[in-house]
Structure 1
Amino acid sequence: MREIFAGLPWWIKWVAVPVIALVVFGGLIATVVGFVISLLFKALIFVALVGGLVYIVRKFMSNSSSRSDW
């Protein structure tokens, strides 16, 4: 691979090749990044809902155990 880029200017290696890679694989990269962000968002929603449920159950259990009419 080094032999291919040996005689070429620096801007071919550091500008043109990455731009071509983004053009060719841009849709794939966008799909993967979108999937990862979606997965992280769903995980965050899951953690928030479970945390809220635990909070509500603990609050209800502490209120019901302190009452003497149960």
Structure 2
Amino acid sequence: MGEFFAGLPWWVKWIAVPVIALVVFGGLIASVVTFVIGLLFKVLVFVALVGGLVYVVRKFTSSSSSRGDF
């Protein structure tokens, strides 16, 4: 692969080829990034809901057990 780019100027290797790759694979890259960000958002929502559920259950079970002691 090195001899393929050997006679070309530096800007072809470092600017033109990545730009062409972004144009060709841009939709794929965007969909993968969108999927990963959506997955992370869903994981954060899941963690928040489970944390809220644990908080509510502990609050009600501790308050009901303290009422039963009296």
Q: Relative CO higher for 1 or 2, CA cutoff 8 Å, sep ≥ 6?
A: 2
Give structure 1 regions of 4+ aligned residues with deviation exceeding 6 angstroms: none
**C-alpha separation in 2, matches of 1:37 and 1:19:** 23
Structure 1 partner of 2:55: 55
Coordinate RMSD, CA, aligned: 1.4
Can you list the C-alpha shifts for 1:18-48, whole angstroms capped at 9, x where unaligned? 0000000000000000000000000000000
1:33 paired with 2:69, answer no
How many residues of Structure 1 are paired with residues of Structure 2 in the alignment?
70
**C-alpha separation in 1, matches of 2:26 and 2:68:** 65
TM-score with structure 1 setting the length: 0.96
**C-alpha separation in 1, matches of 2:7 and 2:56:** 68
Other structure's SS at 2:8 match: coil
Task: State the Cα distance separating 1:68 from its structure 2 match.
Answer: 2.9
TM-score with structure 2 setting the length: 0.96
Gaps of 5+ in 2: none
**C-alpha separation in 1, matches of 2:54 and 2:69:** 24
